[in-house]
Amino acid sequence: MPSPSGTPEGRALGTIRRNGGTIRTSEAIRSGIQPRTLYHLRDTGAIEQVSRGVFRLADLPAPTLPDLLIVATRLPKAVICLTSALALHELTDEIPHDVHIALPRKTEQPRLDHPPLRVVRLSPACYQAGIEIRRVDGVDLRVYSPAKTVADCFKFRNQIGLETALKALKALRKRRGFDVEELLSFARICRVERVLRPYLEAIL
């Protein structure tokens, strides 16, 4: 039975719904939701705990990208990158087993029981370039743009494989609106222009 809107539980559910249906404990407390109210809603089945400190309305459809939902809510500085970003942009047919994320250098190592993470550390310029915000399952997800992702794949080609980077480059080349200069600008930021340019010229 839904909680009446005037009760603490009802007000909390309204706050969570306005937040997109997902909320972290810290966000809930800042919004005026008492921890005991949050846990009561969990125990009565009104919300579900999707990860430590992350709750989601139980009446919402199942998340389409549950692993990325957890990363977005638990690790606000993380940016989805490399093969995970390729999959999100439909630039690969590979199914990533881990979630690839980028963090600034000297950032503390994230602690997540799930999903498994593969972390790359980037310089400030490389980390900040090309970040897009996508709304996924009611949560803002930070992910690198397709062109930045391809540049990153060449930067970390020894980790993900040159073949994966080349396939992503060819897939990006086929996209309507493909911008050579945009890709090369990201390649310069990532310091891989000399590596990427010959492959790019071969398919133009």
Q: Which CATH architecture has domain 66-203?
A: 2-Layer Sandwich (3.30)
Instruction: Give the sign of the dihedral formed by CA 30, CA 16, CA 53, CA 44.
Output: positive
- pLDDT tens for residues 154-186? 999 999 999 999 999 999 999 999 999 999 999
Per domain, the residue ranges of the chain are: 8-57, 66-203
Output DSSP code: residue 97: S
Do 196 and 190 meet the contact criterion of CB atoms below 8 Å apart? no
Q: 164-193 b/e with 16+ CB inside 10 Å = b?
A: bbbbbbebbeeeeeeeeebbbbbbebbebb
Write out pLDDT tens, residues 65-87.
Answer: 888 888 988 888 999 999 999 99
pTM of the model: 0.81
